[in-house]
Structure 1
Amino acid sequence: MTQLFDAAIAAFSPGLPLAVALSGGADSTALLVACARRWPGQVRALHVHHGLQAAADGFVRHCEQLCAGLRVPLQVAHVDARHAQGESPEDAARRARYKAFEDLAQASQSLSAIKNIALAQHADDQAETLLLALSRGAGVAGLAAMPARWQQGGITFHRPLLAVAGADIRAWLQAQGVGWTEDPSNQDERYTRNRIRHRLLPMLEQVFPQFRDTFARSSRHAAQAAQLLQELAEEDLTAVGVPPALAALRGLSAARQANVLRHWLRQHHATTPTAAQLQALLVQIAACTTRGHRIDLKVGGGFVRREGALLHWYNFRLS
C-alpha cells in the first residue's frame, strides 16, 4: 500500500534544511527521494561507511549516483565500527553511526546549519526492536522501542516511517522506478534481529495480520508509562537528595525506591544496574535499620556503599 508511505511523508514536518541518513538500502533510498521531491534544495544526504564488509564501497557508489540524479549534496563519513570484546556488533555500529551523523551535521555548519536528521526505520524495524526488548526482559523504557522523534547532540532526529511496513516502502520505490542496494549482512541469521525478521515476522503476519499496528500501540503505551516513571523519579530524587539519604529512601515504597535509584545511577553516574543488583540493593536498604549496618554492593560499573546516613556510588576504575 503505497498510500501509507505517501501519508507518512505528507505528515512529516521537520525543520529545514533536513539531512537524510542514507545507507543505500530501500528504506533510506525511498525516504531521501520523497524528501528531496517535497523540499527541493533543502535536503542533503549523510552516508556512513562502516568499513565492516567488502560491499561497503558499492553502497557509497550507489549513494553518489542517487544523489547526483536528485541533485542532493552528499556527505560521506568513514568510521571504524568494529566492536570490542563482549560488545554487540550492532551496538558498536549504531554508536559509530550516530557519532558520525553528529560530526557530519557539525561539519556542514559553514554551509547551512543541519539541526534535523531523518532516519528510515519502519514498522518492521519497530516490531523487531520490541521483540528484542521482550526477549531481554526489558522494562517499560525498553518496551517503548524506538521514538519517532528525539534530540541528541543538539540535533533533532526523526523517524517518519515507523507506521509504514518495509514491503510498502519497496512497493513505493518500485512504482517510482528507483533502484536500491541490498546489504548482504541483512541475510546473516547469526544476528538475532535477522532471525526475527526472516523467521518470526512472517509467522506473526499469518497469525496476527495487524501485529505492526498493535505492537506500535503497545510501545506508545510503554513510552507514556516510561515518561511518568521519569517524572516521578525526578520528584523523588529531589526529596531523597543526591547522594540519596537512607531514611528518605525507606519512606518510599520498594517500587519507588527502585525507580529513583535507577534514575540516580543513570543520571548522575552514567551506569545502569542489573535487575539482580537493584533487588539486592533494595534488600540491603530494607535491612538497614541500625547505624552499624554496612552496604557495599557491586552495582552497574561500580559499587554502592553506605557512608553514614547516605548512599554513595564509586566507579571501580577511580576507587
Structure 2
Amino acid sequence: MLYPSFSRQLLTTHNAGSKSFVLAFSGGLDSRVLLDLMARFIAQYPTYSCHAVYVHHGLSNNADVWAEKCLAWAKQSGISCDVERVMVETGNRISLEQAAREARYKALAKHVQQGDTLLTAQHSDDQIETFLLALKRGSGPAGLASMPVILPFAKGTHLRPLLNVTRAEIEQYGKAHQLEWVEDESNQDERYDRNFIRHQITPRLVERWSGIHKAVARSSALCGEQEALLEELLSTQLAQATQQDGSLLLAKNTTQRVGMALIRQWLKRQKVVMPSLAQLEQIWFNVVLAKQDANPKLCWSNVEVRRSQGKLYLLQQWSDISQWQASLELNAACQLPQDLGALVLSESGCDKALRYPQKDEQVTVRFCYQGDPIKPLGRSGSRKLKKLFQEYQVPSWLRSRTPFIFYGDKLVAVVGYFVVADFSGDDIAINHRI
C-alpha cells in the first residue's frame, strides 16, 4: 500500500505550477525505494518529470562504485541522473555530518529550478532520531519541530514524501520488489549519535511503545505550529527592527525574552546555522548589552554577530589578510581577496582624486597601515587612522577589510573614505567595484 499513499501525497502537496522533481539519490535503501516509487509515478502520470542527483562526498572508498550503481539503477528506471562531486570541509571543530549535509544540499540546490520540488527520502524513524538529537541538545520548539514534510528550498520546494512511513515499511517494499541498494559502512558506526539512536534506542522504544512514530510526529508538528505562531506574532516587530542594510536595531526598552526571540528570528531569516541557547544568551548579554565603547562579537560555525552604532550585524568569518598586497597598474583591474571586488586606478572619469605616481613610487594595494598620523584632503591637521575611522563611523570589522593605496611606503588613499592631502590631484580616479 506504500505506492498509492505516496502518489496521493505528491499530487496533493506538489506545486501545481511545475511538474518537475529532483530526487536526492544516495543509493541507500530509502532513496532506492524512492527512486522506484518515482518511476512508477512517472509511468502513471507522464506529464510529470524526475531527475536524480547522486552527491559524491568523497568520504568513502566505495563512493565511485556507489555512483556507478546509482547511474545504472536510474537508467533502468527511466530516470535521468547526474553525479555531483563536492568537497566536505573537515576539522577538529567541524561536525562531519553537518559539513556533509551542507555540501550535499548546496549541490542539490543547483539542480532545483524555479518551481521545482526536491525529494528526499527521510522517514519516520529519521524523524525520531532528529527529535531525540534535538532533545539531547536541549532544543526548544524550533529544534523539536524536527523535519517538516514540506518547506521552501532554493528556487522551489523541498518535499519529504516518506516522512510518515517507517523504516520497516520501506525495507518491506524494497524486498518485495527485489530492489538492490548500497550499504554505507558509516551507518554502522555508533560513534555517530544518529547511528547510536538508530541501532540502540529506536528499536527499544518501538518494542515498548508501538505508537512512538505517531507520537513523535504529533509532538514535532505541535512544536512546529508553536514556532510558526511565534514567528507570525513577531513579524511586525522584526520588520521594524530590521534596517535597510540588513542589521538589527533593538528598541531600548526591549526585554531579554523578546529581544532573544527577535534575534533568533532575524538569524533564521538569514539561513545560517542557528546558535545554541547558551550562544544566544551570550549574544544578548555580551554583545547587545556590552558597554557603549566596547567592540563585542560572538562567533560560531562560520559566522559572527557584531555590534556597531547600536545595531547587530551578521558577518561571515574571514581569515586575516593584513599581509596581503598586490601591485596596481593604471587602467587595469586588480582583483581583491575574499569577495572584496576589484580596484581600478583610471585616467578616465570625472572624479579625479590622485596625482600621478613618480617613477620610483611603486603603486600597491594593501589591507594594513601602522604608520604616522594622516591628513585627509580638506582636513586641518593630522590624525591617527584609528581616530579617522571612528570619525567616519567605519565599523571595526570593516577596517581590516578596507583597501589602502600606497605610493612606495606612503599611504595615499583609504578607498571609499578619503585621499591623503599630499597625494591628491586631478590625474587618477579610484574605482572600487564590488
TM-score normalized with structure 2 length: 0.63
Kindly state the Cα deviation for residue 64 of structure 1 after the two structures are TM-superposed.
Answer: 2.3
Secondary structure, aligned partner of 2:157? strand
Which residue is equivalent to 1:262?
264
| Deviations 1:185-213 (CA, angstroms, capped at 9, x unpaired) | 11111211100100010111122211111
**Contact 2:22/2:53 (<8 A) preserved:** yes
2:98 maps to 1:91: yes
| Deviations 1:152-193 (CA, angstroms, capped at 9, x unpaired) | 220311100000011100101111122212111111112111
2:146 maps to 1:148: no
More strand by share: 2
Q: Which runs of 5+ in 1 are unaligned?
A: 107-112
- Which letter does structure 2 place at the counterpart of 1:11? Q
What's the RMSD between the two structures over aligned residues? 2.9
| Deviations 1:10-60 (CA, angstroms, capped at 9, x unpaired) | 322234222221111111111111111111352222111111111112212
**Contact 2:115/2:155 (<8 A) preserved:** no
Which residue is equivalent to 1:174?
175
Secondary structure, aligned partner of 2:152? strand
Matches within 5 A, 1:101-250: 101-105=108-112, 115-240=116-241, 242=243, 248-250=251-253
In the alignment, the residues of structure 2 paired with residue 46 and residue 276 of structure 1 have an alpha-carbon distance, to the nearest angstrom, of 38
In the alignment, the residues of structure 1 paired with residue 226 and residue 85 of structure 2 have an alpha-carbon distance, to the nearest angstrom, of 38
In the alignment, the residues of structure 2 paired with residue 17 and residue 217 of structure 1 have an alpha-carbon distance, to the nearest angstrom, of 30
Paired residues, what number? 304
Task: Point out the more displaced range, 32-41 or 220-229.
Answer: 32-41
In the alignment, the residues of structure 2 paired with residue 281 and residue 79 of structure 1 have an alpha-carbon distance, to the nearest angstrom, of 33
Kindly state the Cα deviation for residue 117 of structure 1 after the two structures are TM-superposed.
Answer: 1.7
Secondary structure, aligned partner of 1:71? coil
In the alignment, the residues of structure 2 paired with residue 227 and residue 19 of structure 1 have an alpha-carbon distance, to the nearest angstrom, of 27
In the alignment, the residues of structure 2 paired with residue 114 and residue 287 of structure 1 have an alpha-carbon distance, to the nearest angstrom, of 43
- In the alignment, which of 32, 36, 39 is matched to residue 33 of structure 1? 36
- Which letter does structure 2 place at the counterpart of 1:262? R
In the alignment, the residues of structure 1 paired with residue 63 and residue 286 of structure 2 have an alpha-carbon distance, to the nearest angstrom, of 52
Kindly state the Cα deviation for residue 268 of structure 1 after the two structures are TM-superposed.
Answer: 6.3
In the alignment, the residues of structure 1 paired with residue 134 and residue 39 of structure 2 have an alpha-carbon distance, to the nearest angstrom, of 34
In the alignment, the residues of structure 2 paired with residue 92 and residue 22 of structure 1 have an alpha-carbon distance, to the nearest angstrom, of 18
Secondary structure, aligned partner of 2:111? helix
2:294 maps to 1:298: no
- Which letter does structure 2 place at the counterpart of 1:26? L
In the alignment, the residues of structure 2 paired with residue 277 and residue 180 of structure 1 have an alpha-carbon distance, to the nearest angstrom, of 41
Find the structure with the greater CA-based Rg. Answer: 2
- Which letter does structure 2 place at the counterpart of 1:254? Q
**Contact 1:148/1:160 (<8 A) preserved:** yes
**Contact 2:57/2:88 (<8 A) preserved:** yes
| Deviations 1:215-260 (CA, angstroms, capped at 9, x unpaired) | 01111011111111222232222344535555x342x443222211
| Deviations 1:119-164 (CA, angstroms, capped at 9, x unpaired) | 1110011110111111111121111111111122203111000000
In the alignment, the residues of structure 2 paired with residue 186 and residue 271 of structure 1 have an alpha-carbon distance, to the nearest angstrom, of 24
More helix by share: 1
**Contact 1:19/1:114 (<8 A) preserved:** no
In the alignment, the residues of structure 2 paired with residue 195 and residue 182 of structure 1 have an alpha-carbon distance, to the nearest angstrom, of 17
**Contact 1:83/1:93 (<8 A) preserved:** no
Secondary structure, aligned partner of 1:145? coil
Which residue is equivalent to 1:7?
5
Secondary structure, aligned partner of 1:57? helix
- CA 1:223–1:293 in structure 2 vs 1: closer, same or farther (change >3 Å)? same
Which residue is equivalent to 2:334?
none
Sequence identity percentage: 33
In the alignment, the residues of structure 1 paired with residue 40 and residue 4 of structure 2 have an alpha-carbon distance, to the nearest angstrom, of 12
Secondary structure, aligned partner of 1:39? helix
Higher relative contact order (Cα pairs below 8 Å, separated by 6+ residues): 1
**Contact 1:77/1:104 (<8 A) preserved:** no
Secondary structure, aligned partner of 1:53? coil
